[in-house]
Structure 1
């Protein structure tokens, strides 16, 4: 009985240490993903609504990673110090983080259509803010629009017709050269696409689809990355919660037994009382933790 209880306590301790180590590693993983999103996936962020840009996804990953590192440290400290207060704090923090991740994931699925609509509105605002060549932000928007249209093979918001109302050539059916289809021009000639967007009645030379759908798909990729991370972390957090709850019960059981033995036996007889008891689970916990 004593051996089986001792083995059970040790297994729970090992499970907690292992799950908390994985939890801690996930914190570093979230930080790495956040930095990767910030440095590699922010090319069109200037066109995106602030709440849904790659910057926001990167900030969310970095915040989650930092929280996990702090919480996992509290968990290790609670076991090292055998502190019931720290273990309760650890359990509450992990539970709160789990609930936040669940709510974020559910809201992400529910409001995907809202994200698409707001992304389209943001594109309409930025396409009309690129005409002022003396403004550094307008220049950045213009360059980003051109890059997006080349990379995503699109033109305008809904179609190339959105550029017809561009203030720089208002009333004339022109589009940026980035809207032109490379397959329609001679790639061996370096300037074959120069001013291709200003050729009269050249609609067949331009990308037919707008950028709203491919841009929103690009934008939602970052939110999906966050959702996958939240799902993975949620599974690990459930294991951490189960193991920490077991250790918390052991700490509470040990504390209750010590308080009871000090009242019944007195301080001088506590150790002798512990070895004389027939309760194998308490004795096992004493052997394991002290």
Structure 2
């Protein structure tokens, strides 16, 4: 028995909000891919825990994408089972997002130390591991940075100590001697930890805005899904 009256309105609201979820899922997938590409080299030289962050955003986007599609089908077919499953899954995702937001706030001060440790470890492998060497060179060129804290960090690396040089990827200008006896005039003075932190702070507002928007629509989606479940169940009871 199809839902009637006000429940029809709720049905189309559930369908509409699921379409919004679908768009949010696509947005998260895009943000995850963008973060993975933009921070790709930083993630190679950093720790495994930080490398999983863009992947986690991407996975969350995929999950929301499929759950919203599931909810749309449930609303359109007026399936009590599908709408109930959708509401439960959406509630679980909402709780996980709250837990992730709290964890991110609590551990936000550890980002600098994790980046610093990862970069220092990568610098020690410079010239020995081709993949790390290439990643670190590209990171320094892309973020206009040199070393972890600053360019003097390279003085602690064995292969650069003797002749007082830094990698050519630190150079402000493309000359053959810019990396010899480095100074702020010839190489990037800012460290990569500071540069990456600045990039993350600049882009975190976009992520936060998307997350808040998704959370708002999730709450409304759960409420309307529960109302639709009640309407569908009442229809079955009348039959």
TM-score relative to the length of structure 2: 0.84
Match of 2:28 among 22, 27, 30: 30
1:116: which partner in 2? Answer: 112
How far has the Cα of 1:61 moved from its partner? 2.9
Output one character per residue of 1:62-98: Cα deviation in whole Å (capped at 9) or x when no partner: 3122212322233233334433222221110000011
2:74: which partner in 1? Answer: 78
TM-score relative to the length of structure 1: 0.71
2:135: which partner in 1? Answer: 144
* Mapping 1:52-201, distance limit 5 Å: 52-53=50-51, 56-132=52-128, 138-182=129-173, 193-199=175-181
1:8: which partner in 2? Answer: 6
1:211: which partner in 2? Answer: 192
| Shift in alpha-carbon separation, 1:18–1:73, aligned structure 2, 3 A | same
1:283: which partner in 2? Answer: none
How far has the Cα of 1:217 moved from its partner? 3.2
1:250: which partner in 2? Answer: 231
Output one character per residue of 1:131-160: Cα deviation in whole Å (capped at 9) or x when no partner: 32xxxxx22322332333333332211222
The CA RMSD over aligned residues, in Å, is: 2.7
| Shift in alpha-carbon separation, 1:46–1:225, aligned structure 2, 3 A | farther
- Of stretches 97-106 and 153-162 in structure 1, the one that deviates more from structure 2 is 153-162
| Shift in alpha-carbon separation, 1:70–1:152, aligned structure 2, 3 A | closer
Contact 1:131 1:166 in 2 (8 A): no
The runs of 5 or more residues in structure 2 that have no matched partner are: none
The runs of 5 or more residues in structure 1 that have no matched partner are: 133-137, 183-190, 259-290
Aligned pair count?
237
Matched, 1:232 2:228: no
